[in-house]
Amino acid sequence: MTYEKLHIRVLIKYKPKTTVMKKLIFIFCSLVLSLPSFSSVAESDAVLDFRNIFWGVSKDSCYRDGQKIEFVKDRQSMLKNAYYINGDDPMIGAIKTDRILYLFNDENRFYKVFVQGAVELTEQMKFVMTYKFGDFKNESWVDDRHIMQWLVKDVKFTLTEVAKSRFELTIESNWQASEDYKKNTSVDDF
C-alpha cells in the first residue's frame, strides 16, 4: 500500500467528524444570532400605556392622536384624583364597561386605571386578561370579593368580582419605582 492510498483512507475515515463540527458551529451561530430577537420579545411584553396614555405622563400635558386630552374630575368617585374623559369609548374588546377612571398621583402623574362593569361580564373580562397575559398569578377571596391578579413587568392587573354585583379591574403601573431604580443605579455624585 502506498502513502497516497493510506492518506485517502484517513481523510475518508475522519470526514464524518468535520460534518458534526459544521453542525455544531451552525447551531452555535444560530443561537447567537437569535439572542437579540429573544430580548425584543421580552421587552414587547411590557405594558407601557393604557389607550395610548403613557404611565407617568403629566395630566396637563397628555395627548392622544395629536389631541390634548381633557380630563374631567369625577365628583362621585371615592377614589382620590380620579378623572374621566368625555366621550371615552366604554368598550374593552366586546365588553361594555360602566365607567373608566384615570387616576393621577399627588404630582399629577398618570399611574392607575379603574374600570367597572356588570357582574355578568366578569368571565369575559377574565378571558380577555388570560388570553392577553396568561393565567393569573394570585387569587384570593376576601369577604364577598373574588380577587385575581396578573403581574406584567411593573404593571399589576387586579380583577375583582364584588359580591356578585359588579366587576372591578384596576390597572396600576409601578413606573415611579422603575424610574427611581434607574436614577439610583446611575448616581455619579461620588
92 or 32, which is more confident?
92
Q: Which residues pair with 127 in a beta bridge?
A: none
18, pLDDT greater than 90? no
Q: For the segment 60-110, what is each residue's pLDDT rounded down to a tens digit? A: 999 988 899 999 999 999 999 999 999 999 999 999 999 999 999 999 999
Instruction: List Cα–Cα distances, 71 to 6, 22, 58, 138, in angstroms.
Output: 87, 62, 11, 32
6, pLDDT greater than 80? no
Q: Tell me the fold of 49-181.
A: Protein Transport Mog1p; Chain A (3.40.1000)
Which among 47, 7, 2, 86 is positioned nearest to 178, based on CA atoms? 47
Residue 164 confidence (pLDDT):
86
CA dihedral 131→135→138→144, nearest 10 degrees, is: 60
What mean pLDDT comes out for the span 109-135? 96
Which set of grid coordinates corresponds to residue 68?
390634548
Which among 50, 24, 47, 190 is positioned nearest to 115, based on CA atoms? 50
Residue 1 confidence (pLDDT):
55
Residue 44 confidence (pLDDT):
52
Phi, psi of 158 (to 5 degrees): -125, 115
Q: For the segment 149-162, what is each residue's pLDDT rounded down to a tens digit? A: 999 999 999 999 99
Residue 89 confidence (pLDDT):
95
Q: Where are the domains of the chain?
A: 1-43, 49-181
- Range 14-19, long-range pairs (CB < 8 A, 24+ positions): none
